[in-house]
Structure 1
Amino acid sequence: MNRTEQLHERAHALRLHGLLAHWSEIAEASWVEPLLQWEEAERTRRSLERRIRDARLGHFKPLADFDWTWPKRIDRAALDELMTLDFVKDKSNIVLIGPNGVGKSTLALNLAYQSLIHGYTALFTTAGQMLGELAALDSDSALRRRLQRYASPEVLVIDEVGYLSYSNRHADLLFELVSRRYGTASTVVTTNKPFKAWSEVFPNAACVVSLVDRLVHRAEVIAIEGESYRVKEAREQAEQRASRRNAARQEKKP
């Protein structure tokens, strides 16, 4: 395929019908290739923006700004490897376990963002938001449609499992979703509870053992330990405010 044919194919893929209608007149013009490049780049940018918006990522700290030195324990090599997205190709799961404020949500959001950049579909939600929404649906057809929305992305991030306790109904819904995605798509879960404590998150639910089994089979489980980074930032901000007040008081002294 020669250069002109390649350009024609690109214009056709972009559906630039006005350009194609006059192709014989402009095919050899020097401005055709830059025009196609601009159009392709702009459509790629707008597509990514739309997919990020649809994925509900919101505002988050980019991985370049993540403080790897703050957690007392974190397997950076494993997380760097996850950012290559082999787990998405393998349709395996990720579970990030650790106390509040150690960066689990930030890392999960960056995994979703990397997935979107590389052309995968992704969706971010909290466990409370998703399970509350599913449980509130009062018709089977509406529930099936909503479950399909959560089942269909190639990467689904379920944040904050363990921060609230749920009924048997919620447990059954989460089990249904994890089962639908099992072996067909990747689920990223963040939790502040070890798996043995999930019976406290879903008290009296008969499916908890099966839920954990489906989730962790063929999964990468990464434990993060440390003090809350948010507490650290709040403490530093309080110290800065106190320092400014002391300096202001010193200036006012005669």
Structure 2
Amino acid sequence: MSDLESLRTRAEALRLYGLLAHWPEVGPADWVPPLVQWEEDERARRSLERRLGAAHIGRFKPLCDFDWKWPKHCDRMALEALMTLEFLTDATNIVLVGPNGVGKSMVARNLAHQALIHGHTVVFITAGQLLGELASLDSDSALRRRLRHYAAPDLLLIDEVGYLSYANRHADLLFELINRRYETKSTVVTTNKAFADWHEVFPNASCVVSLVDRLLHHAEVIAINGESYRLKDAQERASQRAQKRKTQRPEAP
């Protein structure tokens, strides 16, 4: 394909119909390539802005600032490999397992951001927000619309499964959502519970085995074990404040 044909194809993708209507006269002009490039760049910027707003990632620490020496166990190569986004090509799910405060949500948010800047649609939400919202809908039509909303993105990240316990209806709703995305879209889940303990998260729910089965059938499970980063940071800040107060304390007369 010649450069001019390639340029026309790009203009068609942008739906620049006014420009295309006069293509024989203006196509070879020097000002057309930068015009098309400007339009592509601006649409990409606005698309990223919209998707960032819809994703609800929130603030997060960049993965480059992660203290890899702090966890007792952490597969750094596996986590860094996730950032290539190869798992999205075959709808692989990712499950990040570990105790509170070890960086699971931070990794998930970095993963969400990486997917966004590579053009994917993303939604990040806590399990409590997701299941609370779905369970509160009072009509079947509203529930179906909201399930379609969460089933649609290329990457859905469900944070903090296991921090609360839920009723059977919540378990059924989560199963329905995971089932809709099964083998078609990737889902990332962070949890502080081993799968054998998910019956504590969804007590008496009959679908828990099927839920875990769907989630894990095409999944990579990555464990992060160690002490809480948040507790470490809080202790360090308290120590710094104490030291600052000590140095500012006026000397006794």
Task: Please indicate, yes or no, whether the TM-score normalized by the shorter chain is above 0.5.
Answer: yes
Q: Match of 2:42, SS?
A: helix
> Counterparts of 1:16-35 in structure 2 under 5 Å?
16-35=16-35
Tell me the residue number matched to 1:195.
195
Q: Distance in 2 between matches of 1:42 and 1:61?
A: 27
> Counterparts of 1:1-254 in structure 2 under 5 Å?
1-249=1-249, 252-254=251-253
Q: Distance in 2 between matches of 1:120 and 1:70?
A: 31
Q: Distance in 2 between matches of 1:69 and 1:122?
A: 30
State the one-letter code of the partner of 1:49. E
Kindly state the Cα deviation for residue 24 of structure 1 after the two structures are TM-superposed: 4.4
Q: Match of 2:220, SS?
A: strand
Q: Distance in 2 between matches of 1:2 and 1:196?
A: 59
Q: Distance in 1 between matches of 2:104 and 2:46?
A: 28
State the one-letter code of the partner of 2:61. K
Q: Distance in 2 between matches of 1:233 and 1:164?
A: 24
Kindly state the Cα deviation for residue 149 of structure 1 after the two structures are TM-superposed: 0.9
- State the identity as a percent: 69
Give the aligned length: 253
Kindly state the Cα deviation for residue 25 of structure 1 after the two structures are TM-superposed: 4.5
Q: Distance in 1 between matches of 2:226 and 2:130?
A: 28
Q: Distance in 1 between matches of 2:50 and 2:62?
A: 18
Q: Distance in 2 between matches of 1:157 and 1:87?
A: 14
Q: Match of 2:225, SS?
A: coil
Q: Distance in 2 between matches of 1:165 and 1:4?
A: 60
Q: Match of 1:224, SS?
A: strand
Q: Distance in 2 between matches of 1:175 and 1:110?
A: 26
Q: Match of 1:124, SS?
A: strand
State the one-letter code of the partner of 1:212. V
TM-score for the superposition, normalised by structure 2: 0.93
The alignment yields a C-alpha RMSD, in angstroms, of 1.7
State the one-letter code of the partner of 1:164. L
Report the more deviating stretch, 51-60 or 11-20: 11-20
Kindly state the Cα deviation for residue 111 of structure 1 after the two structures are TM-superposed: 1.6
Q: Distance in 2 between matches of 1:187 and 1:27?
A: 44
TM-score for the superposition, normalised by structure 1: 0.93
Q: Match of 2:203, SS?
A: coil
Kindly state the Cα deviation for residue 225 of structure 1 after the two structures are TM-superposed: 0.5
**Structure 2 gaps, min length 5:** none
Instruction: Classify 1:176/1:47 alpha carbon distance in 2 versus 1 (closer, same or farther; 3 Å).
Output: same
Q: Distance in 2 between matches of 1:15 and 1:182?
A: 34
Kindly state the Cα deviation for residue 184 of structure 1 after the two structures are TM-superposed: 1.3
Q: Distance in 1 between matches of 2:125 and 2:103?
A: 16
Give CA-to-partner distance per residue, 1:8-62, whole Å, 9 cap, x none.
3322322334444554444333332222222211211211111111111122222
Q: Distance in 1 between matches of 2:4 and 2:176?
A: 52
